[in-house]
Amino acid sequence: MQLLMLAIAPGIAICLFIFHRDAYNREPKLNLIISFLLGVLAVIPAAFIEGILLSKSDPTISGIFIKAFLAVALVEELVKFIALRFYAYPRKSFDEPLDGIVYGVMVSMGFATLENILYVFQSEAAGQGYQVALMRMFLAVPAHATFGVLMGYQAGKAKFSQHGKTALLLTGLCWAILFHGLYDFFLFLRDVPAVTDLVADGLLLGGAIASFIIAIRLSFIHIRRHRKLSQQTFNPMETMSLRKAFEHDIPLIRDMAFRIWPTAYGGIISKEQIDYMLDMMYSEASLTEQMRKGAEFVIAYDGVEAVGFASVGLLEGNVYKLHKLYVLPSQQGRGTGRFLVDAIVRAVKSKGGTALRLNVNKHNPAVGFYEKIGFVTTYEEVLDIGNGYVMDDYVMEKGLQ
């Protein structure tokens, strides 16, 4: 039992460490457990494929290279990537860049934990169970965690990138394979008859451990970067401010809209429809009319730079309509949208409002953002906006009681 606990402990400890790094918007525990278990199950196909490939391994330096990078690193990182990409990545709870690292490490720790148990008990038959358990506690299991961080960092970037999502995901997979392959290559060199024990030990220290240290260094850099984004997302910066907009601000609102819309809707509706809707909704005449009919506009600032805007107006009874909510692409993931919504909710409640309603395109990733902050879909509607175009929307509402 002690040996089993020793084999399990490092993976669980690293999971808890990563879980506590995700301090600002933690993932549902069930999703994390499932990710961990998918990593455990990934050992089965990996072992099967490796068994086939390693049966033909060649004890030469080139053969060891192929074994390390293709038969082991590629196979193991690919099965972990599949679990990350097809279970965790599509989750609605995957709503900030740091989540890629969190899920990547959970999958990797599930894989490493079962692998660790198998190696430790296999070594126990030769009387080396505790030695192997201690060595892998400080090398192999943390190494798998770093591979998960490198893969998950790029997955987090891909999730919130407007372009090149596939390229970013594959970049993460390649980084994990590269460092995994380097680590194993220097370990496996000990099995090459042409390499003396002294050289093999030197390569182990200078190669495997060096690649491991570099991977750890990169992992902590990536964690800090995404954790900072998470902090900014769920704890808006002190420099963020808000003010009411007036008719003389219309040129500023138009400038932001024309910068935001092509990025926000470029993959959802055609360029022709974007141009049509911008002309219809953001012309000076249209914005002037909206303000004069009671729509209140606000502009968000990060320091002295205008970074987003919103508009709200009374719809019916005590229900208010959030007509617009947009932030510059450079502000995505930095908390500006939440900052605007929170301010609008406070203002609406102070006026006796009991609900805030909005329309959002069904294919807009912002649907997940609105759900996260308490909006629920009440119904769907398709609106004819002329010129052969429609708005295919969810109507969402947030209770303010």
pLDDT above 70 as % of the chain: 89
pLDDT confidence of residue 205: 53
Q: HSE of 137 in the Cβ direction (CA atoms, 13 Å)?
A: 17
Query: DSSP E strands: which ranges in 213-257?
Result: 240-244
pTM of the full structure: 0.58
Give yes or no for a contact between 300 and 335, defined as CB atoms under 8 angstroms apart: no
pLDDT confidence of residue 234: 57
Beta bridge partners of 244: 298
Give yes or no for a contact between 152 and 104, defined as CB atoms under 8 angstroms apart: yes
pLDDT greater than 70 at residue 197? no
Average pLDDT value over all residues in the chain:
86
Give yes or no for a contact between 14 and 142, defined as CB atoms under 8 angstroms apart: yes
Beta-strand pair 240-244/319-327: unpaired
Beta bridge partners of 296: 312
Cα dihedral 395, 387, 282, 267, rounded to 10, equals 60
Domains of the chain plus CATH, in order, are 2-234 (no CATH), 240-399 (3.40.630.30)
Give yes or no for a contact between 388 and 352, defined as CB atoms under 8 angstroms apart: no
Q: Which residues contact 355 (CB under 8 A, 6 or more apart)?
A: 318, 319, 320, 397, 398, 399, 400
Please state the separation of Cα 35 from the chain's center in Å. Answer: 14
Q: Which of 393, 262, 250 is closest to 322 using CA atoms?
A: 393
Q: Which of 326, 323, 385, 317 is closest to 354 using CA atoms?
A: 317
pLDDT in tens, 85-125: 999 999 988 887 888 888 999 999 999 999 999 988 888 87
Give yes or no for a contact between 278 and 257, defined as CB atoms under 8 angstroms apart: yes
Average pLDDT over residues 15-39: 85
Q: For residue 25, report the phi and psi dihedrals to the nearest 5 degrees.
A: -155, 70
Q: How confident is the model at residue 360 (pLDDT cuts 50, 70, 90)?
A: very high
Q: How confident is the model at residue 332 (pLDDT cuts 50, 70, 90)?
A: confident
Give yes or no for a contact between 216 and 142, defined as CB atoms under 8 angstroms apart: yes
Give yes or no for a contact between 108 and 88, defined as CB atoms under 8 angstroms apart: no
Q: How far apart are CA 257 and CA 282, in angstroms?
A: 7
| CB neighbours of residue 11 within 10 Å | 29
Average pLDDT over residues 256-260: 95
Distance in Å from the first CA to the final CA of the chain: 53
Q: How far apart are CA 172 and CA 164, in angstroms?
A: 13
Percent helix, strand, coil in the chain, to 5, is: 65, 15, 20
pLDDT confidence of residue 69: 93
pLDDT greater than 70 at residue 79? yes
pLDDT confidence of residue 122: 87
CA distances to 68, 138, 195, 197 from 201, rounded to whole Å, are: 17, 17, 10, 6
Higher pLDDT, 223 or 308: 308
pLDDT confidence of residue 389: 93
pLDDT in tens, 216-250: 777 777 677 666 666 555 554 556 889 999 999 99
Average pLDDT over residues 375-392: 94
